[in-house]
Structure 1
């Protein structure tokens, strides 16, 4: 019996990604959302919120690139995507696997200065950060920074492993943000729900 080399390589890659995620989670559980990378199903749902001809996109928390891969699969040009990843090992892996994408090693709450697009230069911020594990002040700092990046009408897309919205209600009120549920993916470990945040003024316009 023969073994398909590409299948074996894919299994080895997935196993390696799992071990890297597990190691990162053990070292910094508040920086890493899960012990396993996001599934393609979750990535596709999040990426479906992007217009590939709609301008620049920022990803918060690139990890091993599971979501990055799905964002690029929409047809968004690689040079229109920037990925924020504070973990040095993950960032190095992202640069190797996505050479056309800008990788930014900076905290999400202070990324504006390092961004290519600048203030109001992005159609969408997509996040895999573990918001539920963060304090309210940190949540507010990250979302405030995200909405500095977003142009009018822009969206912040966030997944969470809880059925409830990941951003504290008091933080959403302070930033004048509304939230919509995009959908739930059960074919993910663990199951995940995707939410979209927008400025209340934008939501009122439809």
Structure 2
């Protein structure tokens, strides 16, 4: 669950996009004034309160003896947070920052495995191990693409493919990554990417953009 903070004036100008982020991606945006949180935009049905840190630490201490042997402290804490979020959906428990796998490196590993399989010089046991590894990598790539935000997915696609982008192309790209969105949402994401300097709008009447060479 992604969270971010935004000053009240900036939030006022982006209110539609922030609501879309909450609805489509579950993003929580905390609205601030002079660095102090005043309110939050959250998905419908969720309260913008949080479990006190002391209660979270107590839950972690209680759960630790029952967690699998060899598990890291970071992974253990993430599991406890996930369990609390599932048990108390009306609460918002701060999650540890998530580092997504590098899809490009996973694809390179998958291509290397495929090359070895095609060469056919492996034993049956080695072949079976590599096939299982390839399946695992493919599943990780699919899960990673679903967990990426709409802006991350489109930014990556624009950087890789370049060219002209509009709502239809953005909808198709997000759909292939497992995200079903409408034209309105796609246009909002393209506007945000254009604000980063990666795209330049080329039409005054339509949401059409060209890739800007960085």
* TM-score, with length taken from structure 1: 0.27
Q: Which has the higher helix share?
A: 2
Larger Rg: 2
Greater share of strand residues, 1 or 2? 1
